[in-house]
Amino acid sequence: MCGIVGILNKKEDAIKMALDGLSSLEYRGYDSAGIAYQKDESIITVKTKGRVQKLKEKIDKNEKSLLAIAHTRWATHGEANDRNAHPHTIGDITIVHNGIIENEQELKEELKKYYTFQSDTDTEVACAFLDFYYQKTNSMIDTITKFMDTIKGSYAILILCKKEPDTIYAIKKDSPLIIAINEESKLIASDVPAILKYSKNYYVLEDMEWAKITKNDISFYQKSKKIEKEINTFEGSNLSSDKGCYPHYMLKEMMEEKESLEKTILPYLTNLDLLTDVSKYKKIEIVACGSAYHAGLIGKYLLEEKANIETHVELASEYRYKHLFLDSDSLVIFISQSGETADTLAALKKVKKQGIKTLGIINVKESSIARYVDDVLYTEAGCEIAVATTKAYVTQVALLSLLALKAAKKKKLLKEEEVKKILEEFYQLPRQVNDLLQEKESSKKIARMLTKEKDIFYLGRGLDSYVMMEGSLKLKEITYLHSECYSAGELKHGSISLIEKGSKIFIGATTELNDKTISNAKEVIARGGEIILITNDDTLLQKERKERILIPITSSFVSPILEVIPLQMIAYYLGCYLKRDIDKPRNLAKSVTVE
Ligand code: F6R
């Protein structure tokens, strides 16, 4: 989603640094890009629909500046075009903005009396608002305080004021913004990769905080009050954004699944005490979006079936607006790769207001959600660049599974020998995942078979259905083909009408409910459906199945992780055959920082 970079430098290479920063944020997904830089007394703006490369081509290579703000836009208000791209300028003010201004309409009505708007964006309204109050007060402190008191919604904004050269203002609410420093530069960004090349020391702006950044100084404020802030040091690893020998980040990241799992689970396998104890809670709610939500469904199954803890899984976008039934015996788990997903963050704030205990399962260590939760477990998947999550998802499932295992052990619902056997399965898991990843030919063969399809179905029961939901989402994201996942037993209550001769149906059958799933499979076969079976039992549908992928026999603590690997691979190869933009599929963003 939208990305922000701001540079204030002692040397005149702010333009190049800002554009490089934008390139490292490209993975977030965007549809236009722009930059504003200071030249003599003026502020020059260049912007374009399309990629950062196109923006670079529009800027004279000899152009130099000490100061630049730049932006990649993922359209929310108004289509993706040059006019709507950021930065926007009104009067003396130029801004780039991540987030959504919710009271834009009512503000625009008022501001229309004084300004003519050129774009369809809420950002231009924010810009006009800032200019209006700046002209009135001649004070940026008063203007920003007024802005924070009036504006509803979310924003990370960089502001340039023509009358205050060599200065960038950075303001923040519900959308991340960090400020890094080194001897030469001040770097402001919405995301760590944009600054990492230059500095590991950074400040994090919290909601309703802002900063005035000049060449020699940074001062921080909370509304009109001056505050002090502590500097952080980035400690993450494996943040290389290098594709290495792989044609796509998605393939590279799948190939890193073994290592990601090892890093995530090995410390706990040797010492389960290091893991959060969830056995004391009577009720757990898991809140997440997209693939993280699918991981949560697997967590629910294991926490309920193995650890006997009532567990609900909720979509963050719904949860943030619903009545909550929580008390001191409840725990709410927030799962997020980015740690910045707007809905998940809003849901977390709502739960925290009620004083309920929270646990995060998060990949990005410096993220907002990781900082706000009471307790956090990190998925050690490293930097995930491809929009479609793979390695972060499997590590999320692995941590949830270990939480359930520890709780079951604590509650003595599993015997010592059973726990030992399951731990042994976890030790074997990374290698087994790697073995499945090496079976590229069977995934390619199935992908080739699907290139002419328009609708692809996924079926399963219980755990299998949750894994199939993830398989279906992965396929939709990177192939743009229509796909649905149904609980196998539910099919004949309506959706079976979609099945026709030649329909391709993935079926997951890895649990004690296999017999039931196979009966449902026969119902679709009888209607001409062709089955691609993902199973750990090779005797199933031997004559009837069109294709099958065999995964190792394991307990349900690890089987979902093995089962999803071929589904990720098939989606990937099908996307390649269909010549899709694998790492940046259309309309999608890596980090969904707006509601
Ligand atoms: C799918 C995908 C998304 C994310 C979702 C939540 O491949 O990546 O569905 O899982 O947007 O994102 P995070 O985990 O960053 O909160």
For ligand 1, atom 7, name the residue with the nearest CA: 388
Q: Which residues, including other chains, have CB under 8 Å from residue 144's CB and lie 6 or more apart?
A: 130, 159, 169, 171, 210, 221, 223
Per-residue model confidence (pLDDT) at position 5: 96
Per-residue model confidence (pLDDT) at position 238: 45
Distance 537 CA to ligand 1 centre (A): 31
pLDDT interval class at 191 (50, 70, 90): confident
Please tell me the distance from the alpha carbon of residue 86 to that of residue 71, in angstroms, as a whole number. 6
User: Between 238 and 137, whose confidence is greater?
Assistant: 137
Distance 334 CA to ligand 1 centre (A): 12
Q: What is the pLDDT of residues 146-178, one digit of tens each?
A: 999 999 999 999 999 999 999 999 999 988 899
Asked if 401 and 530 count as a contact pair (C-beta separation under 8 A), the reply is: no
User: Which pTM value belongs to this model?
Assistant: 0.84
The answer to whether residue 383 is catalytic is no
| Mean predicted confidence (pLDDT) in 264-274 | 95
Q: What is the pLDDT of residues 361-411, one digit of tens each?
A: 999 987 899 999 999 999 999 989 999 999 999 999 999 999 999 999 999
Ligand 1 binding site (Cβ under 6 Å of any ligand atom): 289-292, 336-338, 341, 344, 388-389, 473, 477, 591-592
Q: Indicate whether 223 pLDDT > 50.
A: yes
**Domains annotated on the chain, with CATH:** 3-233 (3.60.20.10), 247-435 (3.40.50.10490), 439-587 (3.40.50.10490)
The atom of ligand 1 lying closest to the CA of 369 is 16
Please tell me the distance from the alpha carbon of residue 422 to that of residue 424, in angstroms, as a whole number. 5
The atom of ligand 1 lying closest to the CA of 293 is 10
Q: Catalytic residue among 2, 127, 383, 576, which?
A: 2
Q: Indicate whether 240 pLDDT > 60.
A: no
Distance 310 CA to ligand 1 centre (A): 25
**If phi over 0 gives left and psi between -120 and 50 gives alpha, with beta otherwise, what is residue 176?**
beta
Distance 462 CA to ligand 1 centre (A): 22
The answer to whether residue 2 is catalytic is yes
| Mean predicted confidence (pLDDT) in 336-352 | 95
Per-residue model confidence (pLDDT) at position 241: 60
Q: What is the pLDDT of residues 350-375, one digit of tens each?
A: 999 999 999 999 999 878 999 999 99
Q: What is the pLDDT of residues 526-551, one digit of tens each?
A: 999 999 999 999 999 999 999 999 99
| Mean predicted confidence (pLDDT) in 94-118 | 95
The atom of ligand 1 lying closest to the CA of 292 is 10
Token pair listed for 66: 């000490």
Our mutation pick for probing the ligand 1 site, out of 74, 368, 473, 592, counting the most ligand atoms within 8 A of Cβ, is: 592
Query: Measuring CA to CA, which residue among 249, 567, 568, 275 is closest to residue 398?
Result: 275
Backbone angles phi, psi at 72, to 5 degrees: -110, 130
Q: What is the pLDDT of residues 210-219, one digit of tens each?
A: 999 998 899 9
Q: Indicate whether 239 pLDDT > 50.
A: no
Distance 18 CA to ligand 1 centre (A): 27
Please tell me the distance from the alpha carbon of residue 365 to that of residue 190, in angstroms, as a whole number. 14
Q: Across all residues in the chain, what is the average pLDDT?
A: 94
Q: What is the pLDDT of residues 564-575, one digit of tens each?
A: 999 999 999 999
